[in-house]
Amino acid sequence: MNRSKTPIRMRFFATNALRALTIALMVSALASPLHAEVDAELGKKLFKANCASCHKLDKKLVGPALGGVTERRSEAWLLAWIRNNAALRASGDADAIAIFEEYGGSVMTAFENLSDDDIQSILAYTNMPAAAPAPGGKDLVPAPISDVPAEDNTTLLYIFGGFLALFSVLLLRIRNTLKEVNGDTATTVIQDANALTKWLVSNKRFMTAATVVVTVAFLYQLFWFLMGVGVEQNYQPVQPIAFSHKIHAGDNQVDCNYCHSSARSSKHSGIPSTNVCMNCHMYIDGSEIVNEAGALKYGGERSPEIAKIYAAIGWDAENRTYIENYEQKPVKWIRLHNLPDLAYFNHAQHVTAGQVACQTCHGPVEEMDVMYQYSELTMGWCINCHRETEVKTANGYYANAEEGTQTINERLAAKFHDEKITVEKIGGLECGKCHY
Banded model confidence at residue 136, pLDDT cuts 50, 70, 90: very low
* Alpha carbon 245 to chain centroid, angstroms: 4
Give the angle 318-323-329 at the CA atoms, nearest 5°: 110
According to the 3-state scheme, what is the secondary structure of 283-319?
CCCCCCCECCCCCECCCCCCCHHHHHHHHHHCEECCC
The structural domains of the chain, ordered by start, are 31-130 (1.10.760.10), 156-227 (no CATH), 245-387 (no CATH), 388-436 (no CATH)
Please state, in angstroms and rounded to a whole number, the distance separating the CA atoms of residues 125 and 42. Answer: 8
pLDDT in tens, 352-406: 888 899 999 999 999 999 999 999 999 999 999 999 998 887 777 766 666 667 7
pLDDT band at 142 (very low <50, low <70, confident <90, very high): very low
0.75 surpassed by pTM: no
390 phi, psi to nearest 5 deg: -85, 140
* pLDDT per position as a tens digit, 246-270: 999 998 889 999 999 999 999 999 8
pLDDT tens for 61-95 read 667 888 888 888 888 888 888 888 888 888 888 88
Separation CA 314–CA 160 (nearest Å)? 65
At 119 the three-state DSSP class reads helix
Helix (H) or strand (E) run with residue 321 in it: strand 321-322
Render the burial of 159-175: b for 16+ CB within 10 Å, e for the rest: eeeeeeeeeeeeeeeee
* Residues in contact with 351: Cβ distance below 8 Å, sequence separation at least 6, in sequence order: 257, 263, 264, 358
Q: What is the rounded CA–CA span in Å between residue 64 and residue 75?
A: 17
Instruction: Find out whether 231 and 324 touch, Cβ atoms under 8 Å.
Output: no
pLDDT range class, residue 214, cuts 50, 70, 90: very high
